[in-house]
Amino acid sequence: MAADTRDRIVFSAMTLFATKGFASTSIADILAAANVNSGSLYHFFPGKQDVLVAVLEAYRDGIHPQLLDPAWKGVRDPIERVFALLRHYRRHLRTTECTYGCPIGSIALELHEPDPAVRQLLSANFKGWIDAIEQCLLDAGDRLPADLDRRALATLALSTMEGGVMLSRTDRTLTGFDDAVRMFRDYVSRLEESVTPPRRARRARVARA
Amino acid sequence: MAADTRDRIVFSAMTLFATKGFASTSIADILAAANVNSGSLYHFFPGKQDVLVAVLEAYRDGIHPQLLDPAWKGVRDPIERVFALLRHYRRHLRTTECTYGCPIGSIALELHEPDPAVRQLLSANFKGWIDAIEQCLLDAGDRLPADLDRRALATLALSTMEGGVMLSRTDRTLTGFDDAVRMFRDYVSRLEESVTPPRRARRARVARA
DNA sequence: GTCTATAACCCGATAGAC
DNA sequence: GTCTATCGGGTTATAGAC
């Protein structure tokens, strides 16, 4: 089956790149994991680089179904969604004993001179993430200051996650991630409080509005 | 000269690892850059991995003379030092057209299963950075809330930088870095204001104290 | 300590039958 | 589209003279 084989290659490569990195994953690794022969892979892809392109396209196209929908399941409040997404990464770190973090970030820092297609796709992946969080912050409406740069705050959210993942992966402890996220949450709380000085049950009331 | 040769190897490797990454730098690259022969390198180092260890030790030992002292030249105010360090990374990005960021972060995310010595040194490098910023925040004394977790805030500073570098390197634009840092600065400003409501010339007076 | 030469291996990619 | 076999080149590391 043609489509199936291609998908198996992309999926196997996605997993391997996330686990071992791009350079450290050999074509032979991908072939073994996908149970495919060399000829088939090179039938679908001109080379290894193009497999990476397909993987990054899969991440980009899968951001809603694969990442956001699961992370936001049962979470409606837009600001809570921001932290639900961060919690999703935390869960990922925890279940892998702090070895896997964000695959896009890892590839972004691993490749120092990516070809244009790869770089653009990495960029598109980050953009999709920031767009989604920016939308949450826009949906938060007047719970946040009117003059707040919501895209910049979404960018800080991504930085918090990526930096936290970097630290936690290095230390094999959740401390770095948790510290960064806790401070980010404190910042967002202060932004909320700057609009509406804290009163009991305020959040619930606004959320219902 | 023995020491000289070893130093040349370490310095060349440091530059190459930062520029091309660890995996993409071959021993031959290091030999050419350091103007050294294979036999000399293997006289000093058992293997490539050990060169990386030496490079990471050099970064760790050089954090004050090589990184902080230059970044903090002429900056005394402890809180301004935090942002002076971030500005230092911005300058680095700008002068390399957003291609070089933090070498430690790049290596940390490139290596997925680093041997213990390497991982510990990466950890030590991050720790040195966070320690330095934490000390700034401690030196800020009562300009920041008494119950503020200053180490966690220093961790968020590192995350801001690393995440910002990741975005800027990917987009080849300073926007991501600037957005993240601007929001982080806003957070710190709000922390200061929460202690001392803003009055004109307040910062200058406190800085002089 | 430094030099040259090269071993031993693995990699990405290709060839060509089916 | 899939299979097997293999090429050509680059990699880390070693051997051994000086």
In whole angstroms, give the CA distance from residue B187 to residue B201.
Answer: 20
Does one domain contain both A66 and A155?
yes
Q: Which residues in chain A touch residue B163, judged by CB atoms under 8 angstroms apart?
A: 155-156, 158-163
Does one domain contain both A91 and A140?
yes
| Nearest residue, CA→C1' of D2 | A40
Does one domain contain both A30 and A77?
no
Band (pLDDT 50/70/90 cuts) for residue B200 is low
Contacts of B52 by beta carbon, 8 Å cutoff, 6+ apart = B13, B17, B22, B107, B118
Does one domain contain both A17 and A85?
no
- The nucleotides of chain D lying under 7 Å from a protein CB are 1-6, 10-17
Does one domain contain both A80 and A134?
yes
Q: Which of B119, B169, B179 sits opposite A151 (nearest CB)?
A: B179
Best of A49, A90, A107, A162 to disrupt the B interface by mutation (most B CBs within 10 Å)? Answer: A162
Q: What is the per-residue pLDDT across A156-170, written as a single tens digit (0 to 9) for each?
A: 999 999 999 999 999
The nearest CA of chain A is from the CA of B33 a distance in Å of 18
The nearest CA of chain B is from the CA of A161 a distance in Å of 8
CATH number of the domain encompassing residue B147: 1.10.357.10
Does one domain contain both B92 and B132?
yes
| Domain interval for residue B38 | 2-56
Does one domain contain both B204 and B177?
yes
- pLDDT at residue B2, as a whole number: 59
Does one domain contain both A67 and A27?
no
- pLDDT at residue B195, as a whole number: 94
Q: Which residues in chain A touch residue B191, judged by CB atoms under 8 angstroms apart?
A: 190
Does one domain contain both B29 and B90?
no
pTM above 0.85, yes or no: yes
Q: What is the per-residue pLDDT across A104-158, written as a single tens digit (0 to 9) for each?
A: 999 999 999 999 999 999 999 999 999 999 999 999 999 999 999 999 999 999 9
- pLDDT at residue A94, as a whole number: 98
Q: Which of B164, B31, B51 minimizes the C-alpha distance to A126?
A: B164
Mean pLDDT estimate for chain A: 95
Q: Which of A105, A119, A152 sits opposite B109 (nearest CB)?
A: A105
With beta carbons less than 8 A apart as the criterion, state whether A189 and A79 touch.
no
CATH number of the domain encompassing residue A14: 1.10.10.60
Cβ distance A167 to B159 less than 8 Å, yes or no, reads yes
Q: Which of B24, B41, B56 is the last residue of a domain?
A: B56
Using the structure block, give the residue that is written with the tokens 């910062």. B203
Using the structure block, give the residue that is written with the tokens 């400003």. B189
Domain count, chain B: 2
For B186 and C1, how far is CA from C1' in angstroms?
Answer: 56
Does one domain contain both A189 and A149?
yes
- pLDDT at residue A199, as a whole number: 59
Does one domain contain both B147 and B48?
no
Written as one letter, the residue type at B133 is I
Does one domain contain both A76 and A20?
no
